[in-house]
């Protein structure tokens, strides 16, 4: 099982925007119940898509600048970045099946 790396304001550009493969960013907060419920689902997605998709987490309380830049109004919010640009956004809890569908449509 993979451990999802955390990014912050300082390394967001290098870890996400400069990535040669699509990146799924999990915007979350420590106090968020649905975020905690989604963690195992996100772990499974990271394992499942392996080298086709990079998965990272960013704490909106620790990196408010990034959260503001991408208009994160609620957590959990998932954004897929491709070529350094956000291409898909989903707010709220998602089942594993829904997250697979969400991710798959941006990997082609």
Residues annotated as catalytic are 32, 35
- Residues across the chain: 108
What H or E segment, with its residue span, contains residue 90? strand 85-91
Nearest to 57 by CA among 76, 31, 37: 76
């Amino acid at each position: 099982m993979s451990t999802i790396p955390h990014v912050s304001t300082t390394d967001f550009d290098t870890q996400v925007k400069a990535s040669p493969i699509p990146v799924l960013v999990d915007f979350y907060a420590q106090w968020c119940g649905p975020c905690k419920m989604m963690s195992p689902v996100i772990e499974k997605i990271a394992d499942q898509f392996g080298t086709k998709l990079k998965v990272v987490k960013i704490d909106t309380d620790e990196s408010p600048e990034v959260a503001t830049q991408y208009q994160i109004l609620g957590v959990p919010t998932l954004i897929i970045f491709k070529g350094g640009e956000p291409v898909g956004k989903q707010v709220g809890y998602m089942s594993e099946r829904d997250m697979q569908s969400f991710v798959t449509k941006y990997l082609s």
